[in-house]
Amino acid sequence: MLEAGTRAPEIALNDKDGNEIRLSDFAGKKVIVYFYPKDNTPGCSRQACAFKNAYSEYEELGIPVIGISKDSEASHIKFADKYELPFILLSDPELKAIKDYDVWQEKKMYGKVSMGVVRTTYLIDKNGVIEKVWKRAKPDTNADDILAYLKN
């Protein structure tokens, strides 16, 4: 995974509505970019809802939240609608940003080894440099852990 102090790779992916969103669109602002395995799975749904519940605090701090998975735009529409998600979801079916941010890794579940997205959150500073990394982020506490960090 990328480490704090590393320049954040550019992201250029479509949101659920087909609009291209670039990380550079947020130059001059801190940005939360979180990578998650799959829409509508228990952990990913809990993590998204935790970001939704904390979203007004992120807005007050002027920090956009961007969720990225390999799911399609259509899947993101259903996911965002189902949970009323107010933040940006980007679709990365070709794994471009997922690989650039080094979150496509070997995973082991029930003795089976496969490749997949390791739940990871990056706080990117106003200059486009990774300020902090939450590796193997916990779905239920990730949003609040970041807020606690930002407020200290």
Place of tokens 């496509």: 104
Of residues 134 and 1, the one with the higher pLDDT is: 134
108-132, pLDDT tens digit by residue? Answer: 878 889 999 999 999 999 999 999 9
pLDDT at site 107: 87
Residue 1 lies in a domain: no
CATH number of the domain that residue 53 is part of: 3.40.30.10
Question: Which structural domain, as residue segments, surrounds residue 132?
Answer: 12-151
Residue 6 lies in a domain: no
pLDDT at site 132: 98
pLDDT at site 7: 97
Residues 73-100 have a mean pLDDT of 98
Residue 7 lies in a domain: no
> Based on the structure, what is the number of domains in the chain?
1
The DSSP string of the chain is ---TTSBPPP-EEEETTS-EEEGGGGTTS-EEEEE-S-TTSHHHHHHHHHHHHHHHHHHHHT--EEEEES--HHHHHHHHHHHT--SEEEE-TT-HHHHHTT-EEEEEETTEEEEEE--EEEEE-TTSBEEEEETT--TTTHHHHHHHHHH-
What's the full length of the chain, in residues? 152
Mean pLDDT across the chain: 96
Q: For the chain, what percent of residues have pLDDT higher than 90? A: 93
pLDDT at site 109: 77
48-76, pLDDT tens digit by residue? Answer: 999 999 999 999 999 999 999 999 999 99
The span from the CA of 64 to the CA of 57, in Å, is 11
pLDDT exceeds cutoff 90 at 29? yes
pLDDT at site 68: 98
List active site positions. Answer: 44
